[in-house]
Structure 1
Amino acid sequence: MCHVSPAPFVFVQCRPAGVIADDERATIERLGGLREGESLHSLMLFEDPDVDPARDLDLDAYAGVIISGSPYSAVEENEASDPARAHMYARVARLARTLIERDIPTLGLCYGLQMLAVAQGERLIDTVPEDLQAVSVHLGEAAAADPVCRGLAPTIRSFVGHTYALERTPPGATLLGRGEYCTQQLLRWGDNVYGTQFHPEITTAGMKLRIDTYAGHYYNADEARDVIDRCMSQDVTSSNAMISAFVDRYRGYGSVTTPAAV
């Protein structure tokens, strides 16, 4: 006899181990009602350079794939001079192409969205950067009919922080959520591949952790008080609901069969 259990989700983390990686994983566990090692498997690409997800993962064994944000760039020429970063880029690009080609349930977060796009030949621009802040993302008619997004608020507030962004909605993709400054905020390819330029995995407490960690990198250290003031007053639970909605949509999407104990 065999035992059939729901397939887990896999979280592909594209940053070094540390407090940010720990926080994003813990937040996705909590928002998705998942448990690491059981219903959520995490893959640390920077720590596991020999792992090539498109080659080594049995993607059919997972309910869905979540691709994290990253301190690295999704612009290939920016990464070429650093072998470790170039290797990261190549592996994530191969995974992104596979996910879109097979329409595997996916949620790409910031860098994850950008890699989904560039893997399809799309270019990124640096003319609509967004500092660490909360922005409004307006969901359109396509989102109202979308099985993941239709339960979300019509306008959500979410944290952002990026230099590069998509210039346009890529051919074959659907724009579900538009920002007022950086327009390409929430997209879907096919039926099952989603990407957000914003960060639904960052809570208000999580943003404070990032502000403390990124001082002098994402913003000048002497601007810390302004950054804290503009972020800590924000309610981003409407954005955090995106994680819950994605997991709820695809929970049970696949199954794993194992031999029963005798």
Structure 2
Amino acid sequence: MDPRPLLYLCVRPQRGAADAEYASFRVAMGLDETRLGAWDLVADPLPADAVERYAGFVVGGSPFNVTTPAKDAPQQRLEADLADLADAAASGRTRAMFTCYGIGVVTRRFGGTVAQDYPEGTGATTVTLTDAGRDDPVFGALPERFEAFTAHKESTARLPEGAVLLATNADCPVQAYRLGERLYTTQFHPEVTPQDFTDRMTFYRDGGYFAPSEFDAVAARVLAAPVTEPARILRAFAAFEA
């Protein structure tokens, strides 16, 4: 077993949302603070020796969008760091799971298309594993169909060459894919419970994901959603050392 810890990479400018997201990942992965570190990539560049210092990486979500036409310097630097990490994982030098906003960074880095063709609102959606997903050492921990939380304005419209589609649905055909053996991506949020997701909504009430006046109704639907399974892939990823 690799003695090095894993590292959560924060790409959210909102400090409260970032702290809560780290806690969600840590609980979902069954790790304490010594086994899952945290790094604020919004504030600080990724250390040059990060791949050597950590056994693997999980990348959280963000209100940033890859398709934003004019990005400020911090977002440009952050996306460059994430793209370099994706290169390292795709080449097998480390392992990484990029979630939500991160799937767009990976898609663009490897020549796929990120577009606003398949947005999903704030709430639960049914996701189905592909044959490759059922056979995958990480995604195979999931049932064939499961509920997961989404809230995104952009998504992968065309997979990068060589990507293996792992999960899909009608509203957003690319829900998860793998590049190589050690780079994973998800469009949905694998780390959150219904309460976690409801709490996170408070930070993005005016973020354009739902009408602010509908907050209570959306929150009620989220809290009632039967989302229990996605954390399985994070626990499998934490144990995965291929």
TM-score w.r.t. length of structure 1: 0.85
**Which amino acid in the other structure matches residue 66 of structure 1?**
V
TM-superposed deviation, 1:234:
0.6
Q: What corresponds to 1:52 in structure 2? A: 46
Preserved CA contact (<8 Å) 1:8 1:62: yes
Residue 19 of structure 1 is matched in structure 2 by 16
**Equivalent residue letter for 1:121:** G
State, as a whole percentage, how many aligned pairs show the same letter: 29
Distance 1:12 1:78 in 2: 23
C-alpha distance in structure 1 between counterparts of 2:222 and 2:203, whole Å: 15
Residue equivalent to 2:195: 205
Assess, with a 3 A threshold, how the Cα gap between structure 1 residues 198 and 5 changes in structure 2: closer, same or farther: closer
Partner residue, 2:166:
176
Deviation of 1:34 after TM superposition, in Å, equals: 1.4
Task: After superposition, give the CA deviation of every residue in 1:153-205 in whole Å (9 maximum; x if it has no partner).
Answer: 11111100111100122211100101121010010111111100000112111
Secondary structure class of the residue paired with 1:167: strand
2:57 to 65, 74, 81: 65
1:223 matches 2:226: no
> Over residues 31-64 of structure 1, what are the superposed CA-to-partner deviations in whole Å (9 max), with x where a residue is unaligned?
212122x21121101122xx234xx134133221
In 1, Cα distance between equivalents of 2:222 and 2:102 = 23
1:74 aligns with 2:70: no
Contact (CA 8 Å) 2:2, 2:55: kept in 1 or not? no
Q: Which residue of 2 aligns with 1:6?
A: 3
CA deviation profile, 1:87-123 (whole Å, cap 9, x unmatched): 2222222222232233521111111221111111222
Aligned equivalent of 1:40? 36
Is 1:239 equivalent to 2:230 in the alignment?
yes
What 5-or-longer segments of structure 2 have no aligned partner? none
Aligned AA (2:77): H
Distance in 2, Cα, partners of 1:103 & 1:122: 22
The answer for the alignment partner of 2:101 in structure 1 is 111
CA contact (8 A) 2:128 2:146 kept: yes
Task: Find the counterpart in structure 2 of residue 192 from structure 1.
Answer: 182
Number of paired residues? 241
**Bigger Rg over Cα:** 1
Query: Closer, same or farther in 2 for the Cα pair 1:103/1:235, shift >3 Å?
Result: farther
Q: Distance in 1 between matches of 2:140 and 2:92?
A: 24
8 Å contact from structure 2 (residues 86, 96) kept in 1: no
Task: For 2:141 and 2:50, locate their aligned partners in 1 and report how far apart those are by CA, in whole Å.
Answer: 31
Conserved? CA contact 1:211–1:227, under 8 Å: no
8 Å contact 2:111–2:161 — kept in the other structure? Answer: no
- Output the TM-score relative to the length of structure 2: 0.92
C-alpha distance in 2 between matches for 1:63 and 1:155:
30
Partner deviation per Cα, 1:203-237 (whole Å, 9 max, x = no partner): 11111112222112222211113212321111211
Q: Say if 2:91 is the partner of 1:101.
A: yes
RMSD (CA atoms): 1.9
Structure 1 regions of 5+ residues with no counterpart?
Answer: 254-262
Cα distance in 1 between the residues matched to 2:197 and 2:183: 26
Q: Does the alignment pair 1:28 with 2:18?
A: no
SS in 1 for 2:64: coil
8 Å CA contact 2:89, 2:182 repeated in 1: no
Runs in 1 of length 4+ with deviation above 6 angstroms? none
